[in-house]
Structure 1
Amino acid sequence: MDSSPPTLPGLPGFDLHSPQRQLIEWQMAHADLDALIDQASALASKQDDLSLRRMKKRRLALRDQIALLQARLLPKEPA
């Protein structure tokens, strides 16, 4: 049985569970939320205010997660 992590076809060495993959998924989710928030803001009504605020909070949380992961993935610069 093969115990190696799953990879994308045509991209050898690109682990589907790697931090780089997670970063891409979070960036895509952030972009999706950005588009949804833009649409919801254009059609804003008082009833949608709560869901709009929740989407914005989720977008901010994703942005923070992305920043932390990027900082972890970037090589440290020598002093």
Structure 2
Amino acid sequence: MSLSSHLTELKKKHDHLSMEVEQAQRSPSTDGLEIAEMKKQKLKLKEEIERLSSDVAVA
């Protein structure tokens, strides 16, 4: 898998997770810890995307 396709996949996962977080926040039955965990995953994806994007810019 090329770096650009890997970045694209990470961005798709990040966007999907964003939608899941939004839906979970609208649902009163969703556990706050579950939302917090999804937000952590989302942040990790964002950091990985930024790291790889800076690697591409340098290369």
TM-score under structure 2 normalisation?
0.91
Query: Which of 42, 45, 50 is the aligned partner of 1:62?
Result: 45
> Which residue is 2:34 aligned to?
51
RMSD: 1.4
Give the deviation of 1:44 after TM superposition.
Answer: 3.4
> Which residue is 2:14 aligned to?
30
More helix, by proportion: 2
CA distance in 2, matches of 1:73, 1:59: 21
Q: Which runs of 5+ in 2 are unaligned?
A: none
Q: Which runs of 5+ in 1 are unaligned?
A: 1-16
Aligned pairs, number: 59
Q: Higher RCO, 1 or 2 (CA under 8 Å, sep at least 6)?
A: 2
TM-score under structure 1 normalisation?
0.69
CA distance in 1, matches of 2:48, 2:28: 27
Q: Secondary structure at the match of 2:31?
A: helix
CA distance in 1, matches of 2:28, 2:57: 39
